Amino acid sequence: MLVEGIGDAECVKRVQRGDADSFEVLVRRHQKATFNLVYRLLGNYEEAAEVAQEVFLSAFKSIHQFRGDANFSTWLYRIAFNHASTRRKSLQLAQQRHVPLDGTELIGDGDAFADPEKTAQKREIQHRVQSALNSLPKDDAAIIILRDLQDAPYEEVAQMLEIPVGTVKSRLHRARRALKELLAPQYCLKRRAS
Amino acid sequence: MNCEETDVQLSEFLDRTLDGDNLRNVREHLAGCPRCSEELGGLAECRRLVSNLGVVEPPVGLVTRIMAEVREAAHRPSILERLFPPVRLKRPLQAAALVLIGILSVYLYQKEDVSNMPPTPVTPEPVLSVQQGPTDFETNKPPAAPIDNPLQNEAKAVSTEPATAKARSAPAATESKAGKEENRLESRQEKFKSAPIPAQGVTTAQEGPSFPGSLSGRGLGSSVEALRQPGDRPAPFAADRLSLLSEPIPDYELVVRRLPSQRADQAAGPAGSQDSLQKRAGRAASKFGEGPRRAEGFSRGNNSPLEILWFSVPYDKYEQFKQELAAQAVVESEIPVGVKEKDASFIADRPLSIKVTVLPSAER
């Protein structure tokens, strides 16, 4: 029987004591954020689903190493980042990056009844942004995704990437400027059009 | 605050994490600098675009698949658990491995100990006694000198008869010296553990109490004369107690053939001889010839009896012994079985063990 009301720390203790069912609470609680982090890092939906599965399995196997020094989510995102980085490298996604433009997963806002023209335009923008993210180094992409997409605090980003907070700030600024340069044509066109 | 200093803090200004003087300075600079304001606008637009990517829904059934794998992994031993079995299995395995290693160590140590031993000439086997009985070499020469004649004791012909009553009848002095030699040889033999059959009783030549180690006058004649000794004497060796495994390896192995005249004399020998040399040697050879070497030699001889005699000769008297032996019979072959050049100094410290195989005369 799952107890959804308990915190991550209690769930982790139960899993560490051998209660594998308690791990399902953690999976249901963090699957979306974990999947999105992996997906934004990889840019491929199927690959992201597979890697997310590996991430949770790896977390379960190594949960005895989790000592509670950080949040479970931070620890889990670190595993996800490492798995995604490995997969991104192995698949040479730098050459094969693509975003499925006809999928509904890129919308994600539940605006199925919106104007088709606006929907198509939004998909186009998302495609360009995702392509720009995929063009960034994995550390820069991760720091932008964590900070601008998941609103993670500097401290959590620092713990997840295992770098100082000051480095997070400087690296975030550098990554944003790089992304702005990649999106500059799109941005200029929009400004001219407007 | 200039543009460069402001640019570094634009991201923090955008994230609203600046405070105090930094926030005020950046605001003042942005108010008067269109370039930095445009840069801030670009960063804000990027931030908005990323945040507008939205949250993507994971595939349906992801939780189910994850938990299926998790539950399977929970009931499956990990690689470490498979590599390192639990204590209840590990301890007996470790104990068994320890015992096995110990046994293997002892075995290898013993094996190496034996293999490292120098290839010394193999010990004259314990059971050696003087051949005294009548031989086919019987000639008109006078019988062997009395026992106390030192000239007769230059060489010791020995047989492999066990230490029975004959050993008890031997002189005490002879036994004492021969006993020392035997003890030394037995100790070496036990160390090497090469002889499966333990050393048997030792007896020495009846014709002399000991081997003096010097030759004069007739030299080795007494020993060689033993080939011609008539009369009752013990069998050359106790063939029924010998086997090829217990046969000592001599330093020299000589094969001699009786002279025809000796055979004639032997045929007309004393009637009191209870057991002729041929019969004894033939019986011994047939018994002794269980191995292929002796069996082959026996058949080639057309069932001719042969006799095997053992001598113990000082190293420096060997040539003289051989000469005297050649005077009594035809030396057909001389094989330095256990003698090597490098062992000469070692062998010089002890008497040579000589095996003489006496073949019947050629006229037979």
Which residue did the predictor score with more confidence, B317 or A166? A166
- The arrangement of strands across the sheet holding B156-158 comes to B156-158, B307-313, B352-359, B252-258, B329-335
- The answer to whether residue A48 scores a pLDDT higher than 60 is yes
Residue B283 tokens, joined: 């019986």
**Mean pLDDT comparison of A48-57, A68-77, A108-117, B5-14, highest-scoring range:** A48-57
CA dist B149 → B209, B223, B230 (Å): 9, 12, 18
For helices A8-16 and A22-42, what crossing angle results, to 10°? Answer: 110
Rounded Cα distance between B276 and B258, Å, is 15
Containing B97, the helix (H) or strand (E) segment is helix B87-115
Q: Quick check: B65 contacting A, CB < 8 Å?
A: yes
HSE of B262, CA atoms in CB hemisphere, 13 A:
26
Distance between A90 CA and the closest CA of chain B, angstroms = 22
Mutation target among B43, B62, B69, B76 for the A interface, most CBs of A within 10 A: B62
State the average pLDDT for chain B: 64
DSSP state string for A68-91: SSS-HHHHHHHHHHHHHHHHHHHT
Largest CA distance in chain B: 151
- What is residue B219's three-state secondary structure? coil
Cβ distance of B71 and A20 shorter than 8 Å: yes
User: In the structure, what pLDDT confidence band is assigned to residue B202 with cuts at 50, 70 and 90?
Assistant: very low
Answer yes or no: do A106 and B55 touch at CB < 8 A: no
Residue A20: its chain B contacts at CB < 8 A? 70-71, 74
Task: Flag whether residue B79 sits within 8 Å of chain A, measured between CB atoms.
Answer: no
Q: What is the pLDDT of residue A37?
A: 92
> Could you tell me the pLDDT band of residue B250, with boundaries at 50, 70 and 90?
confident
Residue A150 has pLDDT above 90, yes or no: no
Question: Contact A49/B49, CB-based, under 8 Å?
Answer: no
Q: Cβ–Cβ of A28/B62 closer than 8 Å?
A: no
3-state secondary structure of B278: helix
Given a cut of 80, is residue B360 above it in pLDDT?
yes
For a pLDDT cut of 90, what percent of chain A falls above it? Answer: 41
User: Which three-class secondary structure state does DSSP give residue A174?
Assistant: helix
Residue A182: how many CB atoms within 10 A of its CB? 19
CA dist., res. A85 & res. A142, Å (int):
10
Asked if A172 and A146 count as a contact pair (C-beta separation under 8 A), the reply is no
Mean pLDDT of the A59-75 span:
89
Q: What is the mean pLDDT of residues B323-331?
A: 86
d(CA B326, CA B227): 12
Q: How far apart are CA A103 and CA A125, in angstroms?
A: 14
Question: What per-residue confidence (pLDDT) applies to B197?
Answer: 41
Q: Which residues 67-96 in chain A show a CB within 8 A of chain B?
A: none
pLDDT at A33: 92
Q: Which of A125-129, B113-117, B215-219 has the highest mean pLDDT?
A: A125-129
Look-up of token digits 């006078």? B142
pLDDT tops 50 at residue B251? yes
pLDDT at A80 over 90: yes
> A26 with A15: CB under 8 angstroms?
yes
Q: Which residues of chain B make contact with A154, given a CB cutoff of 8 A?
A: 17
Q: What is the pLDDT of residue B352?
A: 84
Percent of chain A whose predicted confidence (pLDDT) is above 70: 81
Find out whether B331 and B254 touch, Cβ atoms under 8 Å: yes
Size of interface A-B (CB pairs under 8 A): 113
The amino acid at residue B148 is D
pLDDT at B94: 86
Chain B residues near residue A131 by CB distance under 8 angstroms: none
Lowest mean pLDDT among A47-56, A85-94, B162-171: B162-171
Chain B contact for A62 (CB, 8 A cutoff) = no
- Whether B270 shows a pLDDT value over 50: the answer reads no
What mean pLDDT comes out for the span B51-73?
89
Write out the two tokens for A22: 């308690």
Mean pLDDT, residues A45-59: 93
Q: When comparing pLDDT for A122 and A163, which is higher? A: A163
Residues 6+ apart with CB under 8 A from B188: B123
Cα separation, B74 vs B78, whole angstroms = 9
Nearest to A49 among B11, B52, B59 (CB): B59
* Reported confidence tier of residue B353, pLDDT bands at 50, 70, 90: confident
**Element holding B173 (H helix, E strand):** helix B172-192
Question: Which positions in chain B touch A53 (Cβ < 8 Å)?
Answer: 62, 65-66, 69
